[in-house]
């Protein structure tokens, strides 16, 4: 079924163009993205629409959050498709600045993510969360949203943004939206387009490992990690190996690993490489 035609969103390319458009909007929700929009993004936009008079989607592949040797150059860029998706989803404004509009000079002042920036994703991608928080802070200043919507798939990013909003008093309501999965269980991600058919089959081990962990939740942290690890170990020995960076059960706010006797809320996280693609996934659990 095709979505009904909607009016094309207004497009702003610079902070000045955006400010002119923003002046005419009421209560506004922002969905920050790096483009290559998929069904997960459509879910974020739907959540935004229900919470404000106007929805702004930003499309900007942020160089500051990519490390040397990461996929900044090859990150998928599909602006015409993104515009079509935004029109179908009833987005009011697409903010798509160039690098020079976001970073007109050297970015000397940046946002320090604190200890959350050094563990798990932060340990494997040094400087990543500093880059994310800096661009999100700039987008908040430019768009001045009442609400900002992010996916729970990037759970550590969401926690870092919530902490920045609280510690730096941004006055923006942050909404987290549950992960959208394809019918085979793979979490939607712009990076999934990198996967060959065989790699995609192997990559399903990530969601299977999380499911195995969730099924073992009555056994506590040791049992959860053991069940998930078993799935990952089998996938590591497969014909297209899954190479895990980490598997961890953490506190949902601090991202510190929970002790073996932990009870209550936690998040089971996995990051792994399949071929040249690095994927992350997670599931919230109650122990």
Residues 108-147 binding ligand PAF (CB under 6 A) are 132, 135-136
Q: Which residues contact 122 (CB under 8 A, 6 or more apart)?
A: 113, 116, 128, 129, 156
Annotated binding site for (R)-pantoate: 65, 157
DSSP 8-state assignment for residue 188: P
Nearest to residue 155, comparing CAs of 284, 286, 285, 287? 284
Query: Taking CA 229 as the corner, what is the angle to CA 41 and CA 235, rounded to the nearest 5 degrees?
Result: 75
Does 154 engage in binding with ligand PAF (CB under 6 A)? yes
In whole angstroms, the minimum distance from the beta carbon of 82 to ligand PAF comes to 12
Count Cβ atoms below 10 Å from residue 237 Cβ, excluding itself: 9
Q: Is 62 in the site for ligand PAF (CB under 6 A)?
A: yes
* Given 41, 128, 253, 262, the catalytic residue: 41
253 is catalytic: no
- Exactly one of 34, 195, 225, 270 binds ligand PAF (CB under 6 A); that residue is 34
Among 32, 113, 176, 244, binds ligand PAF (CB under 6 A): 32
Binding residues: 34-41, 65, 151-154, 157, 180, 188-191
Give the Cα separation of 231 and 52 in Å (integer): 42
Tell me if 277 contacts ligand PAF by CB under 6 A.
no
Nearer to ligand PAF, 32 or 221 (CB): 32
Q: How many CB atoms sit inside 10 A of residue 74's CB?
A: 10
Q: Which residues pair with 186 in a beta bridge?
A: none
Q: How many residues does the chain have?
A: 287
Q: How far is the CB of 136 from ligand PAF (least distance, A)?
A: 6
Q: Which residues bind ligand PAF (CB under 6 A)?
A: 32-34, 62, 65, 132, 135-136, 154, 157
- Give me the active site residues, please: 41
């Amino acid at each position: 079924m095709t979505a009904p035609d909607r009016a094309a969103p207004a497009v702003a390319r610079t902070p000045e163009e955006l400010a002119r458009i923003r002046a005419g909007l009421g209560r506004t929700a922002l969905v920050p993205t790096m483009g290559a929009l998929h069904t997960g993004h459509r879910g974020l936009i739907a959540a935004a629409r229900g919470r404000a008079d106007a929805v702004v989607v930003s499309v900007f592949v942020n160089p500051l959050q990519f490390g040397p040797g990461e996929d900044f150059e090859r990150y998928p860029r599909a602006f015409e498709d993104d515009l079509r998706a935004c029109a179908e989803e009833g987005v009011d404004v697409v903010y798509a600045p160039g690098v020079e509009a976001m970073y007109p000079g050297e970015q000397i002042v940046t946002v320090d993510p604190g200890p959350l920036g050094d563990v798990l994703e932060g340990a494997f991608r040094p400087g990543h969360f500093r880059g994310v928080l800096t661009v999100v802070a700039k987008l908040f200043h430019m768009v001045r949203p009442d609400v900002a919507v992010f996916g729970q798939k990037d759970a550590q990013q969401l926690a870092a943004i919530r902490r920045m909003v609280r510690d730096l008093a941004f006055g923006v309501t942050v909404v987290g939206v549950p992960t959208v999965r394809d019918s085979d269980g793979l979490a939607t991600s712009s990076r999934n387009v990198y996967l060959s058919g065989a790699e995609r089959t192997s990559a399903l081990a990530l969601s299977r490992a999380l499911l195995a962990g969730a099924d073992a939740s009555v056994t506590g942290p040791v049992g959860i990690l053991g069940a998930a690890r078993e799935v990952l170990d089998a996938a590591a020995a497969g014909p297209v190996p899954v190479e895990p960076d980490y598997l961890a059960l953490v506190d949902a706010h601090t991202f510190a690993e929970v002790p073996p006797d932990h009870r209550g809320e936690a998040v089971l996280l996995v990051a792994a490489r399949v071929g040249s693609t690095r994927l992350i996934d997670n599931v919230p659990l109650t122990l």
